[in-house]
């Protein structure tokens, strides 16, 4: 773990030709980073992940943009495979910190949709970026260990995505972003999504590795949904098993805005995802789904936050996953209702299936309720694969592997069924099947 | 009597206070205080040593950084009385021997009446000293020991030493350390193999000195195949200064033994109630914690069962009722260490006014605990818009054959339920009280009759004029 | 003679929408009236408003019980004066045993603790008449009850509390024919000079078993026609459309 920033944020801002306000924000974040401690086992939110955090090689060199561009034919094979089946309306491809390829139909551009790199947006839409960047995930929130990574990310991010959908514009097909990790680098990225009033979009961000070798990816995603906006959002990581991935996401939902969110952790050695929704407008609806599968020595760590500020809003977390080999899975979730959040419907469900003796799971679903006219519940369960079902399938000639695959698929069936992006759900079902068999 | 012992407030139900001058009152937390306590009790040297070590541990340990706010308590730890010896002639064997003043107090508490009904023996604690104690002859004949913790140390030192602080070591948590240093009063129970105690053993506690913290210590050993139900009720007069209660309860449930520990605390609302309750359950044994928390300013109490032997079982049933000015942080822990162990936690909490009730629990399944099963059910009922509730259940599962479930719901007093009951002629607040009683019924039905009656009366009182 | 339940020009709104638009209806003690009408006519609203449901707003008009105005009384005060509403959707109250609940309600109704022997006699009689098992008494109020059991439980309460004016809100809906007969038997056992019922129903079916003295028809928030039992049969045969036309033409 590092105690001082490996790169000077002012120099970085200069190198990336950034405006003054951003340079100041970076140096402000540097001060936070240096002031707050690293999370330890005693940091409540990190009690099950502090050990893994220690192993993350933050000392790897920071991935910097090198001006690489690729033609569509030159795109990495993994990306091309996904493109063939993903039916995307437009997409961006990053290799390391470089945006190497971008595609967006003229028709969407004409409607005012902006889908580009964050630095490009800084040049072309500076006021929109300045008004929103860091607003959902500031460098400093409580001034404790939980700020360490957001501060690091705020000070040293080198690349990112900007999506803006103007009021009333509906995009239809999903937009995709592929991040191909480069081994031996520390990559720090940001995503900023702005949906204006009654805009609609679907956005998928995938993180994958083309080559073996340890890499670190630190990512922060800020989603702003103005009144009546609807967003289907997915973040999928299938990084190689030496990688480390640290991710935080905050969505801000205004009146009647609706989010269908999906967090998928299948790869990496250590993957931590903190996914939160702030329901600040009445009628807002946040559906938050999660799918994970830890095998080998993988550790998948999930934190959800449903923060209800406005009345008459709804949120529903459904995280489901499984662990085999020595895999460990963690779910910690919080429904927090402010006194102003009367008439809230908030639910939280976490279900875990353990496939092997060495696998383990920690589940901590939490409620903090300060309003009384509400409907809130949470449930959590941990269960083994049903031996009776295995036996039944065996008597029908289905071997252990096949039966396990069938039962894992059945276990995940309902959460995959709730994913708004059907095409993506089918892809995930396939990856999961490979993982059970592997 | 020092001036600060003379505060009294009258509006609390048990808020009468007796004009009894204490013989000895020790204030402040120092090794000197600890030595004096040990000396006053005529303890063996090992216990004095134990206490002093515990005090050291207490000073070294930080205050808990989670849960309710204890900063006000931290400021005044030196202002409490850690030992108060009342001017009685020591343990009395019969009701007649109890001093008149004290008798009056007990009569107001309803103890003799309760005794006539169901009590097997009464270990009534008056401040730190047990002044009245009785065990039915047949229990004595069976070899059942039910004495004050001090007497337990004196008369059964070997047995005492074998179990004391083995289940809750002083270093377990800061307040267990405090209790270990200054403990005073409590019960010592031993039930020999195969003996079934049919009637519940009850002890009544009463804190009677302003600023005086009560540090009772109870040790219950249920030998192989034995059976016992121990009941503790807590109530204290209201004082103008804040008070502290820090108890440690240790229970050892041997092979195939069956035990139950029931407690309802109704401390006044300026009491910090920080209690450690833990049971170890051996093969085939069963233990139930039945826990009611109504009073206190702050309660932190998480009865735990360590399921050590194969097939050991435990249930934890709890009720909490938090009103304005109260933060009741309660819960349960089930630690599964062996195969085929099973547990059940049912927690019902009610928050009224600005009251806050929190459930904090842990279900842990170790590597070897094949086929462990546990179920947790937490239901919270919120009466007013300002009422608060939290749920913090931890599940740490290291065995793939475990089946663990947790469900929690938060609901409010529903208008349609109230209307329905009103159309049958029940006034609105009675309808509300009935719904609240129904809400806690699954736990309340396990309570001894007189506790259940008292609880119902209290809920009715609390719900009067609370809706509309 | 003031022994009657009277609704006078009652206007009622809910969430800003006017649902009852001038209902006038009189139910003399000792009679059984049926209140029929198409869905959305306001029948159930009328039942709930008579019982004092606070979610409805009385804009105009009065409700009188034996000549005394009860429009502003709380639901429990009305109940203690002898009014009873059998709910269309009885509410579940977990943890509250049926017997204990009935004892409390009867105590409120009588103004004193009911003599235990009489209380159990009433319970026993009602349970036998309803072909039920005493086990129901220790179950929690409506919790886990089937739809039919809930309806039966409403009649059980009716029989034990013995109100003078009962409103049965679609007690027949969702019942099979056997259950319907049992429910009707319970209601009929109450009939006499000191008991009245307003039977709200969508179908004529129930009225084969609880034969009404008078039939009222509601449409669009008002009572549009009143007649004898034959009116129910006519509605069963011809539906409500002819009546709609008749009302529109008038």
- Tens digit of each residue's pLDDT (9 = 90 or more) over A71-99: 999 999 999 999 998 899 999 999 999 99
What is the C-alpha separation between A91 and A89, in angstroms, rounded?
Answer: 7
Q: In chain A, what percentage of residues exceed pLDDT 70?
A: 100
Q: Is there a contact between A254 and A225 (Cβ–Cβ < 8 Å)?
A: yes
Q: What is the pLDDT of residue A402?
A: 81
Interface residues of C toward B, Cβ cutoff 8 Å, are 51-55, 74-76, 78-80, 83-85, 87, 90-96, 101, 104-105, 108-109, 140-141, 157, 161
What is the C-alpha separation between B217 and B179, in angstroms, rounded?
Answer: 8
Q: Is the pLDDT of residue C21 over 70?
A: yes
CB-based contact A372 B385, cutoff 8 Å: yes
B290 and B419 co-located in one domain:
no
What is the C-alpha separation between B135 and B147, in angstroms, rounded?
Answer: 8
Higher pLDDT, C121 or B253: B253
Q: Is there a contact between A161 and A201 (Cβ–Cβ < 8 Å)?
A: no
Work out the average pLDDT over B347-363.
Answer: 96
Smallest CA–CA distance, residue B390 to chain A, in Å, is 4
Q: Is there a contact between C211 and C201 (Cβ–Cβ < 8 Å)?
A: no
Question: Could you tell me if residue A428 is inside a domain?
Answer: yes
Count of C-beta atoms within a 10 Å radius of residue B203: 26
The domain tally of chain A equals 2
Burial B386-414 (b: 16+ CB within 10 A, else e): bbbbbbbbbbbbbbbbbbbbbbbbbbbbe
Question: Nearest Cα to A359, choosing from A415, A404, A425, A396?
Answer: A404
Q: Which residue has the tokens 């801000």?
A: A252
Question: Could you tell me if residue B402 is inside a domain?
Answer: no
Domain around B441: 415-468
Query: How many CB pairs lie under 8 A apart between chains B and C?
Result: 84
A199 and A312 co-located in one domain:
yes
Q: What is the biggest distance separating any 2 CA atoms in chain A, rounded to whole angstroms?
A: 70
Considering only the beta carbons, identify the residue of A357, A379, A383 that sits closest to B407. Answer: A379
Q: Is there a contact between A205 and A236 (Cβ–Cβ < 8 Å)?
A: yes
Question: Could you tell me if residue A85 is inside a domain?
Answer: yes
What is the C-alpha separation between B131 and B89, in angstroms, rounded?
Answer: 8
Question: Could you tell me if residue A2 is inside a domain?
Answer: no
The domain tally of chain B equals 2
B316-330: pLDDT as tens digits:
999 999 999 999 999
| Mean per-residue pLDDT of chain B | 82
Higher pLDDT, A118 or B448: A118
| Mean per-residue pLDDT of chain A | 94
Considering only the beta carbons, identify the residue of B388, B396, B399 that sits closest to A370. Answer: B388
In the structure, what pLDDT confidence band is assigned to residue A395 with cuts at 50, 70 and 90? confident
A274 and A329 co-located in one domain:
yes
A88-102, B113-127, B361-375, C84-98, range with the lowest pLDDT: B113-127
Question: Nearest Cα to B229, choosing from B150, B139, B299, B309?
Answer: B139
Considering only the beta carbons, identify the residue of C78, C84, C94 that sits closest to B438. Answer: C94
Question: A437, exposed or middle or buried, with CB in 10 Å at 0-12, 13-18, 19+?
Answer: exposed
Question: B232, exposed or middle or buried, with CB in 10 Å at 0-12, 13-18, 19+?
Answer: buried
Considering only the beta carbons, identify the residue of B387, B394, B408 that sits closest to A377. Answer: B408
B181-218: pLDDT as tens digits:
999 888 899 999 999 998 788 765 434 443 344 888 99
A261 and A328 co-located in one domain:
yes
A390 and A374 co-located in one domain:
no
Q: What is the CATH number of domain C4-88+162-249?
A: 3.40.50.300
Question: C192, exposed or middle or buried, with CB in 10 Å at 0-12, 13-18, 19+?
Answer: exposed
A186-212: pLDDT as tens digits:
999 999 999 999 999 999 999 999 999
Q: Which helix (H) or strand (E) holds A155?
A: helix A148-156
Count of C-beta atoms within a 10 Å radius of residue C2: 11
CB-based contacts of A178, cutoff 8 Å, min separation 6 = A79, A82, A91, A92, A93, A94, A206, A208
Question: Could you tell me if residue B126 is inside a domain?
Answer: yes
Query: Helices in chain C by DSSP H: which ranges?
Result: 43-51, 75-80, 98-110, 116-129, 147-161, 177-190, 229-238, 241-249
What is the C-alpha separation between B209 and B212, in angstroms, rounded?
Answer: 5
Select the residue from B406, B409, B417 to test the A interface by mutation, using most A Cβ atoms within 10 A: B406
Q: Is there a contact between A283 and A311 (Cβ–Cβ < 8 Å)?
A: no
Q: Please list every residue in chain B whose beta carbon sits closer than 8 Å to the beta carbon of residue A378.
A: 391, 406-408
List the Cα angle B313/B316/B318 in 5-degree steps.
170
Q: For residue B443, what is the nearest residue in chain C, using CA coordinates? A: C95
Within 13 Å of residue A241, how many CA atoms lie on the same side as its CB?
Answer: 9
A141 and A271 co-located in one domain:
yes
What is the C-alpha separation between B311 and B40, in angstroms, rounded?
Answer: 44
What residue ranges do the domains of chain C occupy? 4-88+162-249
Select the residue from B414, B420, B431 to test the C interface by mutation, using most C Cβ atoms within 10 A: B420
A413 and A288 co-located in one domain:
no
A271 and A360 co-located in one domain:
yes
In the structure, what pLDDT confidence band is assigned to residue C48 with cuts at 50, 70 and 90? very high
DSSP string, A267-289: SSSEEEEEEEEEE-STT-EEEEE
Select the residue from A302, A321, A369, A411 to test the B interface by mutation, using most B Cβ atoms within 10 A: A369
Domain around A432: 386-438
C172-229: pLDDT as tens digits:
887 888 889 999 999 999 999 999 999 999 888 889 999 999 999 999 999 999 999 9
Q: Which residue has the tokens 């094949």?
A: B370
List the Cα angle B338/B341/B342 in 5-degree steps.
150
What is the C-alpha separation between A200 and A390, in angstroms, rounded?
Answer: 44
Smallest CA–CA distance, residue B405 to chain A, in Å, is 4
Query: How many CB pairs lie under 8 A apart between chains A and B?
Result: 109
Which residue among A345, A370, A385 closes a domain?
A385
3-state secondary structure of B232: strand
Question: Could you tell me if residue B95 is inside a domain?
Answer: yes
Considering only the beta carbons, identify the residue of C54, C83, C140 that sits closest to B419. Answer: C54
* A306: its two tokens: 């449903």
Question: C89, exposed or middle or buried, with CB in 10 Å at 0-12, 13-18, 19+?
Answer: middle
Question: Nearest Cα to B185, choosing from B218, B209, B162?
Answer: B218
CB-based contact B408 A369, cutoff 8 Å: no
CB-based contact A372 B405, cutoff 8 Å: no
A361 and A407 co-located in one domain:
no
What is the C-alpha separation between A122 and C206, in angstroms, rounded?
Answer: 74
Burial B277-316 (b: 16+ CB within 10 A, else e): bbbbbbbbbbbbbbbbbbbbbbbbbbbbbbbbbbbbbbbb
Q: Is the pLDDT of residue B126 over 50?
A: no
Question: Nearest Cα to B109, choosing from B94, B126, B92?
Answer: B126
Smallest CA–CA distance, residue B436 to chain C, in Å, is 9
CB-based contacts of B66, cutoff 8 Å, min separation 6 = A44
Burial B332-367 (b: 16+ CB within 10 A, else e): bbbbbbbbbbbbbbbbbbbbbbbbbbbbbbbbbbbe
* B9: its two tokens: 């407030």
Q: Please list every residue in chain B whose beta carbon sits closer than 8 Å to the beta carbon of residue C93.
A: 417, 420-421, 434-435, 438
CB-based contacts of B426, cutoff 8 Å, min separation 6 = B434, C76, C104, C105, C108
Q: Which residue has the tokens 């009716």?
A: C158
Question: Could you tell me if residue A153 is inside a domain?
Answer: yes
What is the C-alpha separation between B177 and B182, in angstroms, rounded?
Answer: 9
Distance of CA B198 to the CA centre of its chain: 22
Work out the average pLDDT over C22-27.
Answer: 96
Question: Could you tell me if residue A4 is inside a domain?
Answer: no
Interface residues of B toward A, Cβ cutoff 8 Å, are 65-66, 380, 382-413
Q: Model pTM greater than 0.90?
A: no
Which residues face B214 on adjacent strands?
A: B245
A6-10, A384-388, B98-102, range with the lowest pLDDT: B98-102
Q: How far is CA C106 from CA B415, C112, C157, in A?
A: 22, 8, 10
* B340: its two tokens: 């085929």
Which residue among A365, A385, A405 closes a domain?
A385
Which residue among A385, A403, A427 closes a domain?
A385
Which residue among B267, B301, B335 closes a domain?
B301
Considering only the beta carbons, identify the residue of C94, C95, C157 that sits closest to B424. Answer: C157
A402 and A334 co-located in one domain:
no
φ, ψ at A182 (rounded to 5°): -100, 125
B138 and B281 co-located in one domain:
yes
A321 and A421 co-located in one domain:
no
Question: Nearest Cα to C204, choosing from C172, C227, C246?
Answer: C172
Question: Could you tell me if residue A3 is inside a domain?
Answer: no
B240-284: pLDDT as tens digits:
567 888 999 999 999 999 999 998 888 888 889 999 999 999 999
Q: Quick one: DSSP state of residue B164?
A: T
């Amino acid at each position: 773990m590092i105690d001082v920033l490996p790169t000077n944020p002012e120099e970085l801002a200069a190198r990336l030709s950034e405006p003054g306000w951003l340079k100041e924000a970076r140096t402000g974040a540097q001060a936070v980073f240096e002031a707050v401690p690293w999370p330890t086992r005693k940091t409540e939110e990190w009690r099950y992940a502090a050990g893994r955090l220690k192993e993350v090689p933050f000392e790897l060199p920071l991935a910097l943009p090198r001006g690489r561009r690729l033609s569509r034919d030159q795109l990495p094979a993994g990306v091309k495979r996904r493109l063939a089946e993903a039916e995307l309306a437009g997409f961006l491809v990053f290799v390391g910190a470089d945006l190497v390829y971008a595609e967006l139909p003229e028709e969407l551009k004409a409607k005012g949709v902006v889908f580009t790199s964050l630095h490009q947006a800084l040049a072309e839409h500076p006021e929109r970026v300045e008004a929103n960047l860091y607003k959902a995930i500031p460098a400093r929130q409580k001034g404790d260990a939980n700020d360490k990574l957001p501060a690091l990310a705020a000070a040293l991010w080198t690349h990112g995505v900007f999506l803006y959908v103007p009021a009333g514009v509906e995009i239809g097909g999903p937009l995709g972003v592929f991040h191909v990790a480069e081994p031996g680098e520390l990559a720090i990225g940001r995503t900023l999504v702005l949906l204006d009033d009654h805009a609609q979009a679907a956005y998928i961000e995938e993180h994958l590795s083309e080559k073996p070798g340890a890499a670190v990816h630190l990512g922060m995603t800020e989603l702003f949904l103005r009144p009546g906006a609807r967003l289907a959002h997915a973040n999928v990581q299938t990084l190689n098993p030496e990688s480390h991935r640290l991710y935080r996401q905050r969505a801000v939902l205004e009146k009647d805005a609706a989010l269908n969110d999906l967090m998928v952790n299948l790869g990496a050695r250590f993957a931590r995802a903190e996914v939160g929704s702030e329901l600040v407008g009445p009628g807002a609806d946040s559906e938050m789904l999660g799918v994970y599968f830890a095998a080998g020595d993988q550790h998948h760590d999930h934190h959800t936050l449903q923060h209800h500020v406005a009345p008459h809003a709804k949120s529903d977390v459904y995280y489901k996953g499984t662990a085999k080999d020595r895999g460990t899975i963690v779910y910690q979730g919080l429904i927090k209702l402010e006194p102003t959040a009367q008439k809230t419907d908030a639910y939280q469900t976490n279900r875990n299936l353990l496939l092997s003796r060495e696998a383990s799971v920690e589940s901590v679903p939490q409620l903090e309720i300060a309003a009384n006219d509400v409907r809130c519940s949470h449930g959590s369960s941990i269960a083994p694969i049903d031996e009776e079902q295995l036996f039944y399938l065996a008597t029908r000639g289905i071997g252990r592997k096949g039966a396990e695959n069938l039962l894992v698929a059945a276990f995940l069936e309902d959460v995959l069924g709730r994913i708004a992006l059907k095409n993506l759900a089918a892809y995930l079902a396939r990856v999961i099947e490979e993982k059970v068999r592997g | 009597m020092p001036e600060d012992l003379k505060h009294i407030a009258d509006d609390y139900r048990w808020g009468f206070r007796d004009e009894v001058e204490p013989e000895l009152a020790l204030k402040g937390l120092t090794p000197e205080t600890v030595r004096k306590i040990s000396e006053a009790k005529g303890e063996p040297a090992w216990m004095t040593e134990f206490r002093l070590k515990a005090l050291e541990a207490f000073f070294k340990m930080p205050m808990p950084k989670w849960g309710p706010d204890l900063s006000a308590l931290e400021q005044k730890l030196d202002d409490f009385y850690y030992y108060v010896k009342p001017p009685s002639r020591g343990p009395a064997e019969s009701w007649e021997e109890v001093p008149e003043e004290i008798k009056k107090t007990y009569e107001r508490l309803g103890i003799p009446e309760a005794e006539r009904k169901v009590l097997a023996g009464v270990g009534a604690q008056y401040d730190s000293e047990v002044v009245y104690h009785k065990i039915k002859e047949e229990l004595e004949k069976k070899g059942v020991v039910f004495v004050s913790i001090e007497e337990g140390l004196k008369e059964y030192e070997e047995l005492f030493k074998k179990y004391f602080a083995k289940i809750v070591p002083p270093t377990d948590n800061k307040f267990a350390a405090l209790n270990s240093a200054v403990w005073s009063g409590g019960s010592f129970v031993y039930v020999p193999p195969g003996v079934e105690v049919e009637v519940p053993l009850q002890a009544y506690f009463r804190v009677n000195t302003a600023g005086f913290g009560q540090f009772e210590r109870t040790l219950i050993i249920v030998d192989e195949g034995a059976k016992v139900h121990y009941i503790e009720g807590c109530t204290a007069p209201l004082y103008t200064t804040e008070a502290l209660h820090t108890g440690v309860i240790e229970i050892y449930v041997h092979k195939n033994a069956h035990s139950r520990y029931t407690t309802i605390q109704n401390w006044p609302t300026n009491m910090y109630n920080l209690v450690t309750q833990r049971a170890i359950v051996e093969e085939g044994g069963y233990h139930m914690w039945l826990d009611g928390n109504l009073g206190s300013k702050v309660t932190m109490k998480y009865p735990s069962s360590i399921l050590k032997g194969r097939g050991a079982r435990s249930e934890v049933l709890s009720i909490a009722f938090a009103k304005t000015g109260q933060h009741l942080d309660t819960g349960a822990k089930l630690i599964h260490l062996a195969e085929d162990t099973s547990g059940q936690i049912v927690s019902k909490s009610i928050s009224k006014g600005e009251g806050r009730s929190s459930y904090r629990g842990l279900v842990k399944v170790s590597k070897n605990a094949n086929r462990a099963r546990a179920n947790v059910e937490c239901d919270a009922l919120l009466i007013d818009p300002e009422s608060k509730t939290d749920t913090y259940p931890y599940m740490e599962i290291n065995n793939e054959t475990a089946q663990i479930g947790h469900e929690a719901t938060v609901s409010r007093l529903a208008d349609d339920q109230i209307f329905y009951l009103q159309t049958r002629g029940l006034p609105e607040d009675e309808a509300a009280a009935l719904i609240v009683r129904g809400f806690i019924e699954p736990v309340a039905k396990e309570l001894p009759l007189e506790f259940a009656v008292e609880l119902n009366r209290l809920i009715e009182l609390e719900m009067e004029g609370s809706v509309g | 003679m003031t022994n009657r339940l009277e609704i006078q020009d009652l206007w009622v709104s809910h969430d800003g929408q006017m649902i009852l638009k001038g209902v006038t209806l009189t139910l003399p003690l000792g009679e059984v009236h049926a209140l029929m009408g198409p869905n959305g006519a306001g029948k159930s609203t009328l039942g709930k408003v008579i019982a004092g449901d606070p979610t409805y707003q009385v804009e105009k008009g009065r409700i009188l019980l034996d000549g005394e105005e009860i429009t502003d009384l709380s639901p429990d005060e009305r109940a203690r004066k002898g009014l009873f509403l059998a709910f269309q959707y009885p509410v579940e109250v977990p943890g509250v045993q049926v017997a204990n609940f009935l004892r409390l309600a009867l105590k409120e109704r009588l103004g004193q603790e009911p003599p235990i022997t009489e209380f159990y006699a009433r319970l026993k009689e009602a349970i036998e008449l309803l072909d039920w098992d005493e086990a129901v008494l220790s179950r929690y109020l409506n919790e886990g009850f089937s739809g039919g059991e809930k309806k039966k439980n409403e009649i059980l309460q009716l029989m034990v509390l013995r109100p003078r004016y009962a409103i049965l809100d679609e007690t027949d809906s969702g019942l099979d024919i056997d259950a319907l007969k049992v429910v009707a038997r319970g209601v009929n056992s109450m009939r006499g000079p000191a008991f009245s019922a307003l039977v709200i129903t969508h179908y004529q079916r129930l009225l084969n078993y609880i034969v009404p003295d008078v039939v009222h028809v509601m449409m669009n928030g008002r009572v549009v026609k009143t007649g004898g039992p034959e009116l129910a049969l006519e509605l069963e045969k011809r539906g409500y459309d002819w009546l709609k036309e008749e009302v529109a033409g008038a």
